[in-house]
Amino acid sequence: MCTDCGCQIRGHQQILAKPSKAPDIFLGRPERILQGLLQKNDQQADQNRQQFDRHGVLVINLMSSPGSGKTALLEATLKALKGELRMAVIEGDLETENDAKRIRALGITAYQITTGTACHLDAHMVAQALDHLPLKDLDVLFIENVGNLVCPASFDLGHHLNVTLLSVTEGDDKPQKYPVMFRAADLLLITKTDLLPYLPEFSMARATASQRALATKAKLFPLSAKTSEGLSSWTDWMRRQRASYQALLEKGLSLKPRVAQEGKALHLERPEITFKPLTL
Amino acid sequence: MHELSLCANLIEQLEQLAVEAAAAKVGRIELKIGVLSGVEPQLMAAAFGMAQVGTIAENAALFIEVTQPVIHCHDCDHEGEVSPQNLLCPHCGSESTELVAGHELILARVELLGSWPDARVNPL
């Protein structure tokens, strides 16, 4: 078994051989290697996850469009759980420290990653941020990903759960338009429900059907960070997830987002390498 | 445009494979990209053109196989292609389906070029 990613490949020393004479055509025996294109990222993500697990920190990745209320949700959540859980936040944005400042104003540690032009966080950026966070003193770490419904879905950061937000102003068909992102959600939060009276065109039933069509078992909670209506469903969900995460840790196991688990299965596909003479 | 990050990652993997096999160049690469992988094949090809310049894969030809979503239904055992927007079982309507293809993001095949006897790969 591969010691790097745990997949079933033979060590490459078995491929190595000393040929006694040069044949005319050098077609390598199709050697089974398995490489997800995100191998480097995934290896770093696994290291991050091991670090989180050593400290027993549950890590939740928040993803959504820009402006769907990730930071407002965090503010409401941090206020609601401040006495109960020790929490910190990694903020991902292209520019500015604005979001981190909002979190720090609540007395919560926040580290801002500014990605410049990159449209997503990756496992290496998160690894660097971890040097600035007191992991041993934390119960839950939130990662607020860059606002984007496309790119962040492809990168494992080493977190345990994906939570995707859909604000009611975005429309109820978003899961159909961005199936990759919404399929990645371990939980879907419909946010800004306080605006529903002004948006008769938004149907909660259509949003639910749109999500269900992606064959995901993710729960869906409507909530408003502004009025706190529905907030307790989300905080209760977090408590349950934390309890099951701790139970897994006691058994020496960990937790991965559902899509990352699938990714592991895909690594079992066996591609091949061929070797040919170089014709100059 | 995360395709560029992916290509940088891909080039690193190719360099590592080439070093392991003591190959001089990369001749041909085949990727398998599922429509539910979150990666756009055309952008990937364009990004690869930029990322390969000045690397061991400078003249490598890139081939991309795009795969469609295929689900396996846990309720009725149906297995078949579905649309990316509807992953329910088309046979019995069940939500209890598993995606068995269509989300791959895989370096499926690499052709390395080099000269014997430097190459550290078994002949057939």
Does the CB of A208 have a partner CB in chain B at under 8 Å? no
Q: What is the pLDDT of residue A156?
A: 93
Q: What is the pLDDT of residue B22?
A: 83
- Which one of A278, A279, A280 would you mutate to disrupt binding with B, by most B Cβ within 10 Å of its Cβ? A278
What does the pLDDT look like over A201-217, one tens digit per residue?
A: 999 999 999 999 999 98
Q: What is the pLDDT of residue A270?
A: 43
Number of neighbouring beta carbons within 10 Å of residue A278: 17
For B18, which residue in chain A has the nearest alpha carbon?
A: A275
Q: What is the pLDDT of residue B19?
A: 85
Closest by Cα among A109, A108, A110 to A99: A110
Does the CB of A182 have a partner CB in chain B at under 8 Å? no
The CATH number assigned to the domain with range B3-113 reads: 3.30.2320.80
- Domain boundaries defined on chain B: 3-113
- Chain A residues whose beta carbon lies within 8 Å of the beta carbon of residue B25: 278
What does the pLDDT look like over B10-43, one tens digit per residue?
A: 998 889 888 888 888 899 999 989 999 889 999 9
Q: What is the mean pLDDT of residues A54-79?
A: 97
What does the pLDDT look like over A11-28, one tens digit per residue?
A: 333 333 333 333 333 333
Give yes or no for residue A243 having a pLDDT over 60.
yes
What does the pLDDT look like over A182-198, one tens digit per residue?
A: 999 999 999 999 999 99
Helix residue ranges, H only, chain A: 39-55, 70-81, 98-104, 123-130, 174-177, 179-183, 204-212, 231-250, 258-266
Does the CB of A212 have a partner CB in chain B at under 8 Å? yes
**Is residue A276 a contact partner of residue B111, using CB atoms and an 8 Å limit?**
yes
- Chain B residues whose beta carbon lies within 8 Å of the beta carbon of residue A275: 21, 23, 111-114, 119, 121
Q: Do residue B105 and residue A37 have CB atoms under 8 angstroms apart?
A: yes
Q: Do residue B110 and residue A38 have CB atoms under 8 angstroms apart?
A: no
**Is residue A167 a contact partner of residue A263, using CB atoms and an 8 Å limit?**
no
**What is the fold, at CATH topology level, of the domain defined by A39-262?**
Rossmann fold (3.40.50)
Q: What is the pLDDT of residue B96?
A: 93
- Chain B residues whose beta carbon lies within 8 Å of the beta carbon of residue A36: 105-107
Which range is least confidently modeled, A6-10, A163-167, B36-40? Answer: A6-10
What does the pLDDT look like over A248-279, one tens digit per residue?
A: 999 999 999 987 766 544 443 444 667 777 76
Report the distance separating Cα B15 and Cα A167, nearest Å.
43
Give yes or no for residue A90 having a pLDDT over 70.
yes
3-state secondary structure of B98: strand
Give yes or no for residue A168 having a pLDDT over 70.
yes
Complex-level ipTM: 0.77
Report the distance separating Cα B1 and Cα A150, nearest Å.
9
Give yes or no for residue A235 having a pLDDT over 90.
yes
Q: What is the pLDDT of residue A220?
A: 97
- Domain boundaries defined on chain A: 39-262
Q: Which residue has the higher pLDDT, A165 or A33?
A: A165
Q: Do residue A271 and residue B106 have CB atoms under 8 angstroms apart?
A: yes
Q: What is the pLDDT of residue B120?
A: 56
Q: What are the residue ranges in chain B where pLDDT is below 70? A: 1, 116-124
